[in-house]
């Protein structure tokens, strides 16, 4: 009986050492948690997030008003 328990313990230990998925000690990075790049407006210089900026002719603008100033 003792040999059977030692054998099962040995197999369990080997399994956890070599085959079990190891959990990461650090939290995984999420793209959402990273700060969004800030881009300056071509007209007024105000920094806006890249996903919120308006782009026209390869230049970024912070608002429709700055974009209209460029066109007008």
Between these two residues, 13 and 19, which has the higher pLDDT value? 13
> Residues near 59 by Cβ (< 8 Å), separated by ≥ 6?
42, 70
Reported as a single tens digit per residue, the pLDDT across 22-56 is 665 565 555 554 467 899 999 999 999 988 999 98
The pLDDT score that the predictor gives to residue 40 is 94
> Is position 52 within any domain?
yes
Q: Going along the chain, which residue ranges are E strands?
A: 38-40, 47-49, 54-56, 59-61
> Is position 46 within any domain?
yes
Mean pLDDT of 9-30: 75
Reported as a single tens digit per residue, the pLDDT across 52-71 is 999 988 899 999 999 888 76
What's this model's pTM, rounded to 2 decimal places? 0.50
The pLDDT score that the predictor gives to residue 34 is 45
Structural domain count of the chain: 1
69: containing domain: 37-72
> Is position 31 within any domain?
no
> Is position 30 within any domain?
no
> Is position 67 within any domain?
yes
Residue 67's CATH number? 3.30.60
């Amino acid at each position: 009986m003792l040999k059977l328990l030692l054998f099962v313990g040995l197999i369990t230990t080997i399994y956890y050492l070599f085959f079990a998925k190891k959990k990461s000690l650090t939290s995984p990075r999420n793209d959402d948690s990273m700060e969004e790049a800030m881009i300056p407006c071509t007209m007024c210089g105000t920094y806006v997030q890249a996903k919120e900026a308006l782009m026209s002719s390869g230049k970024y603008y912070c608002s429709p008003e700055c974009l209209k100033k460029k066109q007008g």
